[in-house]
């Protein structure tokens, strides 16, 4: 994801997104590929998040392929890979999947190589379009077949007018992501979703958005890994977890970024994670729990619920030992979600916001 992105306010722009459901695996299939969001999961700014290097190194040792999925369309995959590698996590460019790459691939599928595309965006999107053999043009006079929109921090009034005129003229409109805002040095600053929202209000139209939570970027990433049972790991319920769930993947909320356990408790069903991780260092537990030899083993989460988790007067109540157990926390959330889905109102009670290692 882009740094501390916020899609609030972009829902009306993107509309509902269908569940892809393209990836399915028989019961007992092990997790054989892991996809990561970036900011808040692998790094925060220039620094690796505690547990990230160790957790990803364990995947490398197991021979499990990894990928990094980002809505950021301004940076190229090469730049992102260099950033991750500098943290002590060796990363190949091919392991980075950007919303710009997915948008370019979809446009190539829809219109064919060489199709003229009107660009609103910067280097990351431009290079992705060019790598797919698409022809970038500068105006409606060049007869473009589609408008490709990504964040352009240097866009001016004339550029906004040009985009609005193209959309109003009926040009097929595609956008990289709906992220409404990002965290700047002193305040939140507009993300691509803010410009999408403005253009939608000006034109009365909505674009096709390929970035999270759309399953487009997830299925693209899953296919690149060649995984039968991918796991999507992220810190945001409304992009990472929803996107993974819509694509039919397992999903894990890591508690090192934006959303916490209270957010997960209140989440809509499509935004509920299958697993929660204190940090990426807890990944081995999830992989081992999903291994075929564990398929018939007693459910440790269920046992924790029996012994350490209750709902009392509409509030979750966890025994002291359960407060630091990821398995117990997962079980507590499942217990609460079942009650919520039956019409009850469940408060967090003593459910912690994070899990202390």
Please list the active-site residues. Answer: 37, 39
In contact, 153 and 124? CB cutoff 8 Å? no
Hey, CA dihedral for 248, 254, 255, 256, is it positive or negative?
A: negative
């972009």: which residue's tokens?
Answer: 10
């190194």: which residue's tokens?
Answer: 57
Rounded to the nearest 5 degrees, what angle is found at the Cα of 308, between the Cα atoms of 304 and 311? 110
Instruction: Determine which helix (DSSP H) or strand (DSSP E) holds 70, and give its type and residue range.
Output: strand 66-70
Bond prior to 213 in cis (omega within 30° of 0): yes
Say which residues have a Cβ less than 8 Å from residue 288's Cβ, sequence separation at least 6.
Answer: 294
């002193």: which residue's tokens?
Answer: 186
Rounded-to-integer distance, Cα 221 and Cα 216, Å: 9
Burial 9-42 (b: 16+ CB within 10 A, else e): ebeebbeebeebeebebeeeebbbbbbbbbbbbb
CB atoms within 10 A of CB 130: 14
Rounded-to-integer distance, Cα 257 and Cα 255, Å: 6
Distances (CA, A) of 277 to 169, 232, 324, 354, 356: 48, 12, 11, 9, 10
Which among 244, 268, 284, 262 is positioned nearest to 350, based on CA atoms?
262
Q: CA dihedral in degrees (126, 131, 133, 137; nearest 10)?
A: 10
CB atoms within 10 A of CB 200: 21
What are the tokens at 14? 């993107």
């Amino acid at each position: 994801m882009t740094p501390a992105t916020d899609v609030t306010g972009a829902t009306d722009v993107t509309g509902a997104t269908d569940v892809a459901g393209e990836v399915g695996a028989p019961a007992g299939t092990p997790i054989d590929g892991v996809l990561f969001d970036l900011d808040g999961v692998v790094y925060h700014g220039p620094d690796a998040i505690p547990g990230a290097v160790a957790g990803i190194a364990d995947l490398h040792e197991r021979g499990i392929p990894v990928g990094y999925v980002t809505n950021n369309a301004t940076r190229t995959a090469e730049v992102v890979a260099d950033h991750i590698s500098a943290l002590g996590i060796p990363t190949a460019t091919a392991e980075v999947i950007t919303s710009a790459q997915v948008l370019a691939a979809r446009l190539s599928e829809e219109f064919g190589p060489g199709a003229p595309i009107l660009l609103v965006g910067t280097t990351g999107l431009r290079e992705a379009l060019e790598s797919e053999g698409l022809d970038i043009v500068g105006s409606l006079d060049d007869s473009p077949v589609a408008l490709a929109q990504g964040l352009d921090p240097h866009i001016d009034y004339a550029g906004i007018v040009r985009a609005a005129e193209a959309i109003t003229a009926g040009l097929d409109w595609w956008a990289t992501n709906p992220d409404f805002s990002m965290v700047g040095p002193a305040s939140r600053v507009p993300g691509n979703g803010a410009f999408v929202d403005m253009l939608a209000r000006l034109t009365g139209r909505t674009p096709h958005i390929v970035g999270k939570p759309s399953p487009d970027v997830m299925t693209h990433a899953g296919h690149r890994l060649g995984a039968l049972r991918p796991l999507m790991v992220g810190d945001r319920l409304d992009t990472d977890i929803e996107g993974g769930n819509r694509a039919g993947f397992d999903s894990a909320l890591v508690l090192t970024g934006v959303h916490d356990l209270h957010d997960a408790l209140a989440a809509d069903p499509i935004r509920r994670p299958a697993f929660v991780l204190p940090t990426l260092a807890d990944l081995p537990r999830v992989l081992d729990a999903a291994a075929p030899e564990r398929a018939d083993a007693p459910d440790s989460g269920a046992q924790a619920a029996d012994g350490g988790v209750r709902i009392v007067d509409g509030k979750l109540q966890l025994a002291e030992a359960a407060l630091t157990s990821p398995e117990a926390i997962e079980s507590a959330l499942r217990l609460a979600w079942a009650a919520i889905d039956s019409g009850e109102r469940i408060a967090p009670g003593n459910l912690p916001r994070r899990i202390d290692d």
